[in-house]
Structure 1
């Protein structure tokens, strides 16, 4: 082996030694601090509600998605208990809860609205909180009837509108717009309907939290009082988590 070759090997060995002394500890430190991440092209365009929430700086109250599109409140226009025309645009900038009910309901409607009054009182200091209550018996629930019902049951939030209008429009809004079940057959007790609440953020998007399996809950069980905890059928109240999620959305 020539002297020139020996000098080359010595030079290469020296360079490797210097690299190890200077750079390897820095690399190890960055890895230990989670400072190195992998950027793979296959993960760049995955549109999950968690990714959307992170990108928009939102809370962990997830967006509801259908066919990869965020579900937004459809346009509506109805008359409230004060004879005023209320549309979806009147709720922009507000976090609000949605229900479908009727004033003569002998079963779940009264506890639903008692629960909403409790929620109303919890957020009485927030001008950007409201409730949208849609009557599914508009022929009975005129603005005057809704006004009397509101006064009787403690509705004081100026952003709580009890609304009436064309039944077909309300039926479509419930079943298609919010996916909240309302039956189209009337019986002795009125129309069959769900006791669920929907939650809407300030920009009009439907929001919820995830269940134990990582899926959006979509709705909040509205007919069991918070104080009861569990009803006779074993269903757990969800007014507590509804309040928690309203509080999160109000901070967005």
Structure 2
């Protein structure tokens, strides 16, 4: 039941994001939980400001068995997803979509990509390395992250708001959603797109320059 609620929440979240992104706008929405906080101004007065949820500090091994963390993506926008290398259902489609965007922004130093494996049993860094090489993206711009089940599943569901589960009754042992999550330079969620849906992937492609333009204003 918990997983079903998570799926429903993520579905509604993604639908809202997609509809918002389709609007003719000059700035993308900031998504996820938020809270009001009292802040002290330079003149000594106080005011109420909105504090948005951000991706918390993390530390994973990448495809080169090197530790990556938040600093790896400092001053970058990035697209994150959750997958596993032996997946034959939605993952190949998701990563073909990601590869198309990667090719478009491969020379842009402000854009990166981060794929987290949910197969903690098999997808060790050496496996991720071969996967990245086969995909043609083996380099620092697209990071593939390996971590413990608890660390990966927690950050997926609690922070990126993506449902993932190990399920022995599933054909390939895992169930997960195919969202591509757009993260800004402040580590905030700015969009979620179904990586198997060409229209939503096209919207993501359109939203990236909108987000990049925010820093230039």
User: Matched residues in 2 for 1:156 and 1:164: separation?
Assistant: 15
Q: TM-score normalised to the size of structure 2? A: 0.76
1:156, CA displacement in angstroms? 4.4
- Which of 181, 200, 215 lines up with 1:238 in the alignment? 200
Aligned-residue Cα RMSD (Å) equals: 1.6
State how far apart, in whole Å, the 2-side matches of 1:71 and 1:191 are: 27
Unaligned 5+ runs, structure 2: 1-24, 36-50
1:105/1:190 contact within 8 Å kept:
no
Check the 8 A contact 1:120/1:157 in 2, yes or no.
Answer: no
Correspondence 1:158 to 2:158: no
1:122 to 101, 104, 117: 104
| Distance across 2 between alignment mates of 1:238 and 1:202 | 22
Q: Give the unaligned 5+ runs of structure 1.
A: 1-57, 209-218, 227-236
Kindly indicate whether the alpha-carbon contact (under 8 Å) linking 1:130 and 1:157 is maintained by their aligned counterparts in 2.
no
**Match of residue 10 from structure 2:** none
Matched with 1:206 is 189
Q: CA-to-partner distance for each residue in 1:49-70, whole Å, 9 max, x for gaps?
A: xxxxxxxxx9511111414331
Equivalent in the alignment of 2:27: 60
Q: Which deviates more, 63-72 or 97-106?
A: 63-72
Q: How many residues align?
A: 174
In the other structure, the counterpart of 2:74 is 92
Structure (1/2) with the larger strand percentage? 2
Q: Once the two structures are superposed, what CA deviation does each residue of 1:225-249 show, in whole Å capped at 9, x if it has no partner?
A: x3xxxxxxxxxx3111101111112
Q: Which runs of 4+ in 1 moved over 3 A?
A: none
Give the CA deviation at 1:82: 0.8
Give the Cα separation in 1 of the matches to 2:71 and 2:194: 26
**What is the rounded CA distance, in whole Å, between the counterparts of 1:156 and 1:136 in structure 2?**
19
Residue of structure 2 in register with 1:250 after alignment: 212
* Equivalences for residues 1-252 of structure 1 within 5 A: 59-68=26-35, 69-156=51-138, 158-186=140-168, 187-208=170-191, 219-224=192-197, 226=198, 237-251=199-213, 252=215
Q: What TM-score do the two structures reach when normalised by structure 1? A: 0.66
Partners in 1 of 2:211 and 2:139 — Cα distance? 18
Distance 2:159 2:166 in 1: 16
